[in-house]
Amino acid sequence: MIAGYKPAVFKNALRGFMRTRSPGNLIDLKSVFPLRRDGAIVFEECLDRGLIELKDGFTVSEKGETVARGRVVRRTPLAQAQMVLDNFLRNVEMLNQDPDAVRYVERVWVFGSLMRGGEAVGDIDLALEMSRRPEYLADYALMKRHLEEILSRRDDVPTSRGLVWSAETWITERALYGPRRHPLLAGVQSDVSDLVDLGAPCRLIYDRARGGRVNDPILSRHPQSNGRPTDLAPPPEMPDFTPNGLRPMDGQWVAGFSKWGGVSPYDIFRGWTDDAHKLFPQYPEGLRIVGDSRDLASYPWIPKRLKAGGFDGREAVALVNATPLKGTSIVLRRKIEQGSENWILHAWFEHLEFYRSRKRADYSTLPDLAAAAALILAVDAERMLRRAAEDAAGPGIQICVRRDLDEDMNAHFIDAVHNHLQARSIRIEPEGWSSPPASVVRA
């Protein structure tokens, strides 16, 4: 899993993004994401993991293209992969010592990321050299009778066998891999032909003629190889999914990254669901969530602070709710503090403005603003929970909303944001979450 999502979700999202290069279209891929918030989280993870980059606009990186066009496998820590390899080599030794076996594993070669010793591997690349045991090499009838006798003593033999089913292969692979092959061993090759053709660096780690496991040096290519053909493309490397440090999400996802910044609960929640009505009892006609790349030409009011700029959508995003007769604007600021035991999402509000220099807020403009702020913070926290699940320390997640406006706004706006989060009017934890929930505090 990557941030709690199956790798195939990233693959399909990147494929969709390659068609339009539009973040708004990506997060609304209904065939991939159950909700827009899932698309927004995956988009941020693609940015933080180097799968999408900002280069003359957003574009899929080379790493992202590898994921979109290849077989996506979650990378496994080297130590864990080494344990799987050790267990496999024990099975090789047991097979070679088993008097009922009909094949020997003569040599085991390792290549790829495990051989190079990186921090994580996509799978375990092995090539085996095998031979039929001498007593069966020239007497196929003897081997066939021997195999039939072995199969008659087992109760795990498949009842349905295809035309190419081989008792010799089945018994050998059952001894090497057990009843279910480990996913990291899915690509183990039963001969060295592909390794020879690749001309890739490799290392011999098992040699039956020399007594078993060996620790030979890395070779530039297999001894039988004449080098890599010039017309053979280099083998694809599974990219490293290690993310950059956490940062707040671009809050403009709530508006589908549209320049006009309109908020549609129907699109966010995939319909007028109970969850949509909890947060927005009425359609928020005048609500806008915008950054510097806004287009509010037909909007009834553009706050002065918005004209000054400096809204990247992350550290600062503007929340505005206005009609031709009233309006309130406020800037949501966020910062993520990552400690050893807790990760804290700090949120505070600045630059409060009222419609056309009025002195007091129109209270009817505040509920939609509070709902929008709570939605942005809830999904930020969900992403933090997903990321924390990848951290061995398992840090706790906290949302800290500062109550530092005047008492009137604290009571009617800040407390409303806090109450939405505390009561889970908007979900914070991922669906099916069983670990400790996020906490919500006021400061």
Strands (E), 188-237: 202-207, 212-213
Measured over the CA atoms of residue 88, residue 92, residue 93 and residue 97, the dihedral's sign is positive
Q: Are the CB atoms for 381 and 345 separated by under 8 Å?
A: yes
- As given in the structure block, the two tokens for residue 312 are 């990247």
Tell me if residue 242 falls in helix, strand or coil.
coil
Is 353 exposed, middle or buried (CB count within 10 Å of its CB: 0-12, 13-18, 19+)?
A: buried
* Domain identity same for 64 and 82: no
In 337-413, which ranges are continuous DSSP H helix? 366-388, 407-409
321 strand-pairing partners: 287, 328
* Domain identity same for 362 and 282: yes
- What's the rounded Cα separation, in Å, for the pair 74 and 81? 12
**345 — alpha (psi -120 to 50), left (phi > 0) or beta?**
beta
Q: Would residue 263 count as lying in a domain?
A: yes
Q: Is the pLDDT of residue 161 over 70?
A: no
* Domain identity same for 85 and 56: no
- As given in the structure block, the two tokens for residue 134 are 């001498």
* Domain identity same for 272 and 382: yes
Q: Are the CB atoms for 380 and 341 separated by under 8 Å?
A: no
* Domain identity same for 184 and 209: yes
- What's the rounded Cα separation, in Å, for the pair 209 and 188? 21
Q: Would residue 229 count as lying in a domain?
A: no
Residue-range definition of the domain harbouring residue 14 = 1-73
Q: Is the pLDDT of residue 411 over 80?
A: yes
* Domain identity same for 362 and 257: yes
Q: Would residue 221 count as lying in a domain?
A: no
Smallest CA-to-CA distance from 443 within 410, 411, 412, 402 is with 402
Could you tell me the pTM of the whole model?
0.66
52 strand-pairing partners: 60
* Domain identity same for 20 and 93: no
Q: What is the CATH number of the domain that holds 22?
A: 1.10.10
Phi and psi torsions of 366, nearest 5°: -80, -35
Cα R_g (the chain), whole angstroms: 29
In 250-392, which ranges are continuous DSSP H helix? 265-268, 274-279, 304-308, 366-388
Q: Would residue 421 count as lying in a domain?
A: yes
Q: Would residue 202 count as lying in a domain?
A: yes
Over range 134-156, report the average pLDDT: 88
Share of the chain above pLDDT 70, in %: 95
How many helices (H) and strands (E) the chain has is answered by: 16, 14
Q: Is the pLDDT of residue 281 over 90?
A: yes
* Domain identity same for 61 and 81: no
Share of the chain above pLDDT 90, in %: 64
| Domain stops at, among 73, 103, 133 | 73
| Domain stops at, among 26, 56, 73 | 73
Count of domains forming the chain: 3
Q: Is the pLDDT of residue 439 over 90?
A: yes
What H or E segment, with its residue span, contains residue 321?
strand 316-322
Least confident segment among 60-69, 124-133, 222-231: 222-231
In 76-191, which ranges are continuous DSSP H helix? 78-97, 113-116, 134-137, 140-152, 167-177
- pLDDT category of residue 163 using cuts at 50, 70 and 90: very low
* Domain identity same for 334 and 430: yes
pLDDT digits over 39-56, tens only? 999 999 999 999 999 888
Q: Is the pLDDT of residue 235 over 60?
A: no
Check residue 92 and give its pLDDT.
Answer: 96
* Domain identity same for 207 and 313: no
Q: In which residue are the tokens 């941020």 written?
A: 44
* Domain identity same for 259 and 346: yes
Which amino acid is it at 291? G
- What's the rounded Cα separation, in Å, for the pair 28 and 267? 8
DSSP state of 143: H
